[in-house]
Amino acid sequence: MYNLEYKSMLNERVVQVLKTIFDPEIPVNIYDLGLIYEININNEGVAEILMTLTAPNCPVAEDLPVEIHDKVAAVEGIKGCNVTLTFDPPWDRAMISDEGLLELGFL
């Protein structure tokens, strides 16, 4: 069973990995772009990720969740990864972090 402190450390590792994955159409990582809605590490060490795409017909709709799964599952301490894609709520520019807005030149 993973304690809260260990889960928090794993969560931070997962976030760092997610920040290395970029949307091919927007030069911002998927975390700062606001595509990641939730990250939960369960007691077995499996990362549960709820995410969206910038649009339902996004050209990487099939590839991006696989890349996320593979990279997160490889994080030390993570025993597996489940990626769930949702469009509720739909993504919009308001979900971009301040870091992402800065990268895009909006701040």
- Go through the domains of the chain in sequence order and give each one's CATH number: 4-99 (3.30.300.130)
99 C-beta neighbours (distance < 10 Å), count: 15
pLDDT of 56: 82
At 107, is the pLDDT very low, low, confident or very high (cuts 50, 70, 90)? confident
Average pLDDT for the chain: 92
The rounded percent of the chain whose pLDDT value lies above 90 is 71
pLDDT digits (tens, 9 = 90+) for 51-98: 999 888 877 788 999 999 999 999 999 999 999 999 999 999 999 999
Strands of the chain (E only): list them. Answer: 36-41, 46-51, 80-85
Look up the pTM and report it.
0.91
Q: Quick one: residue 69, left, alpha or beta (phi over 0 = left, psi -120 to 50 = alpha)? A: alpha
Structure tokens given for 14? 């997962």
